[in-house]
Each structure stands twice: as structure tokens, then as C-alpha cells.
Structure 1
Amino acid sequence: MKPAFALAVLMAISTPVYAQPSGGKTGVNAVIGRSISTTDFVTELALSDMFETKSSELAAVRGDQKARDFAATMIEDHQKSSSELSLIVKPHIDQTPLPLKLDKGHQARIDKLKKLDGAEFTKAYFKEQVAAHEAAVSLLERFGKSGSDAELKAFAEKLLPGIRHHLEMAKSNAT
């Protein structure tokens, strides 16, 4: 294969990787094995909390009793972690702004849930909660191991056991 053509093929297949958001499980940092930046961590964690809270607010109305019970815990716990994150980030808000609304990907997942009711909603809600908590565990583990901000690393390590517990609860309810 000619070097110029090989380079063109390599660039073509790698372009989608660089088009991804830089944080979270699917971000370029994960793909290339780099540690996650503080800004990406804060953004991804805030989006995760917002998604889990908003989807749980829907579950409180559309889900069965099992979903409503789980949702109450998610709303309480994720609002608390969002508040704690805000307090930690507040002195550095210029360097690390918190997102004010969901990104397109998370919003699309909420929009899909809004179209469902009853058993169909409950099944989809728990599937989303499993996926969201798996991503959150990965995010917290990665930043806890390699993050550069000591206060946020400690926060990630503090949150991790509770998020793992949420994941196990979501998995047990998803079956």
C-alpha cells in the first residue's frame, strides 16, 4: 500500500474518534488511554447526575412501583452529589464551568423515555440506569486513579461505592 493512501485511510477511520466528546467512556481520552482531564470529568459527572435525575423524575410519574421507589433514591442521591460537585467547582468556575442543560445525546435518551409508559417505560428506564451507572463507575474509577485535582479525586473516590450500589440496584431491577 502506498504511504499516502495508507495515511488517508488511517485519517478517514480515525476522524470519528476525534469527533467524539473528550470525556466519559467513549471520549478520545478513553480511546487513546489517556487520563481524563479535570474539565471533562466535571462535565461528564454533571451530565450524568442531570440525566439520572431527569430520567428518574420521569420514572416517578411513568414507572411502576419498583421504578418509582428506585427513582426516589436516584433523585435524592444525585441531587446531593450535584450540589457537592457545585461547591467543589465554584471557586474554579471560570476554568471548569458546569453544564446548564443536558447535551444532545443525554437529551435524546430522555426524549425516548418520554414516549413510553407502563411496563415498556420501566424496562427502558432500568436499561438506561444500568448504562448510565456503568459509565459513571468507569468515569469515577478513571478519575480517581489518574485525575490531577486532589479534591475532585477524593470526591470521585467518595462517590464510587454509592454509584456501584446504584448500578447493582439497577441491574437487579432490570431483570
Structure 2
Amino acid sequence: MKRTAIILGSLLLVTPVLAQSVGEKTGVNSTLGIAPTTADFVKEAAISDMFEIESSKLAQDKGSASEQPFAAMMVTDHTRTSTELKGLVSSGKVKAEIPTSLDSAHQSKLDRLKGATGKGFSSDFNDYQISAHKDAVNLFERYAKSGDNADLKNWASKTLPALRHHLEMAQNLRKSFL
């Protein structure tokens, strides 16, 4: 027990040094409903947008007739939110760095989609869309409620309805696939 406390204490001390907090990285913050730090929120939101845009571009080419309009909407909407987030950071209202590439987990999913075709592609794409939008809704809800940057909290609140709608659409798309 004492050893666990020492390890956890040590992790908390080095957390500011890490690119992403341990709580956000391990999902502890999400489970406990704790708001991410501004840096974590920006990183996660930016990676989510990048993944949505790239995976949906693939779906525009490889997806079924019912997936293609959804994918086009994802490219448009997530390009807009990505631009808005970059604007908040570049204006100086938000002090954080925007990643320029996907993390390994999202890159692996994108690589899998690149190699998939037909029903395999559709199944993976639909699963990824539902999962990504559940994660995004959770992330944005937590930051909108308790984030530490007023401008970013406001943006997260304004963006939430669209993300909830995307999740609903992804779930309905999945139902039509089954």
C-alpha cells in the first residue's frame, strides 16, 4: 500500500513535465469526471479533429452510400472546429500547443482503415466514429463544466451540441449497417 502511494505521488510530481497528464492519459480523469487541463484538452480535441477528418476522407472514397454523406459532414464540421481551436491558440487566448500529427493509437486506427475494404471498412469506420464521438462528448462536457480557461470553456460549450449530434448520427449509421 505504501509503495503504491509513493508511486502515485511520484507520478503526480512529474505530471507537469509530461505532454499529457497521467490522469487524462490513463482515463482516470474521464472515469472520475474531472476536467482535463487546458493543454490536455487542446491536445485531445486537436487529435480527435485530425482523426475525424482523415478517417472521413477515407470514407468518402471507400465507404458505403450511406456513410459518404456522413463522412462529408465530418470533414466539414471537424475542419471548422480545428480552425476555431487553432484560432484560439494563435490569438493567445489559450496557452497550449496543438499537435501536428496523430498519436499512435489514432494512427493505428487510420492505418487499419486504409487497409480495409467493403464491409470490413464500414464496420471499423462505424465503430471508430461511435467511439471517437463518445470520447469527444465526454471530453468537451468535462472541460465545458470545469475547465480553467474561460474562452476555451465557452468554445467547448458551443461545440458540444454538434458533437452530440454527430454521435447520434454515428449510432444511427451503425444501426443501418447491421
TM-score by structure 1 length? 0.85
Instruction: Judge conservation of contact 1:140–1:160 (CA < 8 Å) in 2.
Output: yes
Sort the Cα spacing of 1:24 and 1:8 in 2 relative to 1 into closer, same or farther, 3 A.
closer
Aligned residues: 170
Determine the C-alpha separation between the residues in 1 that align with 2:130 and 2:9.
Answer: 29
Q: Which runs of 5+ in 1 are unaligned?
A: 1-5
| Distance in 2 between residues matched to 1:94 and 1:172, nearest whole Å | 35
Instruction: Establish whether residue 70 from structure 1 lines up as the match of residue 70 from structure 2.
Output: yes
Q: Helix, strand or coil: the match of 2:2?
A: helix
- 2:108 maps to a residue whose letter is A
Number of the residue aligned with 1:52: 52
Alpha carbons of 1:94 and 1:139: their partners in 2 closer, same or farther (altered >3 Å)? Answer: closer
- Matches of residues 155-166 of structure 1 in structure 2 within 5 Å? 155-166=155-166
Say if 2:116 is the partner of 1:121: no
Could you list the per-position Cα deviations for residues 75-107 of structure 1 after superposition, in whole angstroms to 9, with x for gaps in the alignment? 000000100111111133994110001011110
1:28-39 alignment, distance < 5 Å: 28-31=28-31, 34-39=34-39
Q: Distance in 1 between matches of 2:168 and 2:33?
A: 27
SS at match of 1:49: helix
Q: 1:164 to 1:34 in 2, by over 3 A?
A: closer
User: CA separation of 1:33/1:72 partners in 2, compared to 1, >3 Å: closer, same or farther?
Assistant: closer
Equivalent residue runs for 1:97-116 within 5 Å: 97-116=97-116
Q: Distance in 1 between matches of 2:51 and 2:86?
A: 16
Letter in 2 for 1:158: K
Q: Quote the Cα distance in structure 1 between the aligned partners of 2:142 and 2:78.
A: 19
* 1:7 equivalent in structure 2: 2
CA distance in 1, matches of 2:54, 2:81: 14
* Contact map agreement 1:53 1:75 (CA 8 A) in 2: yes
Report the alpha carbon displacement of residue 28 of structure 1 after superposing the two structures with TM.
Answer: 4.3
TM norm structure 2: 0.84
Give the corresponding residue for 1:42.
42
User: What is the deviation of 1:11?
Assistant: 6.6
CA offsets 1:12-48 (integer angstroms, 9 cap, x no match): 89999x8994375843433565421111111110011
- Partner amino acid, structure 1, of 2:124: A
Change over 3 Å in CA distance of 1:46–1:15 after alignment to 2: same
Query: Cα distance, 1:110 vs. partner?
Result: 0.6
Contact preservation (8 Å) 1:62, 1:118: yes
CA–CA separation in structure 2 for the residues paired with 1:20 and 1:14: 18
For residues 25 and 157 of structure 2, the distance between their equivalents in structure 1, rounded to whole angstroms, comes to 17
- After TM superposition, give the deviation of residue 65 of structure 1 in Å: 0.9
- Which residue number corresponds to residue 3 of structure 1? none
